[in-house]
Amino acid sequence: MSAPVHIGIAGARGRMGRAVSQVLEQRDGSIVALRFDRGEEPDLNHCDVVIDFTTPEASVALAERCAATGRPALVIGSTGFTPEQNAAVAEAASRLAIVKSGNFSLGVNTLIGLVEQAARKLSEQAWDVEVFEAHHRRKADAPSGTALMLGEAAARGRGEALEALRAGPREGITGPRQAGSIGFSVMRAGGIVGEHAVVFAAEDEILTLSHSARDRSLFARGAVEAALWAAGRAPGLYDMQDVLGFR
- Catalytic residue annotation: 135, 139
* Distance between CA atoms of residues 242 and 61, nearest Å: 24
* Distance between CA atoms of residues 70 and 68, nearest Å: 6
Q: Following DSSP, what letter does each residue of 32-77 receive, concatenated?
A: EEEEE-TT----GGG-SEEEE-S-HHHHHHHHHHHHHHT-SEEEE-
* Distance between CA atoms of residues 180 and 186, nearest Å: 20
Q: Which residues contact 201 (CB under 8 A, 6 or more apart)?
A: 127, 128, 129, 130, 207
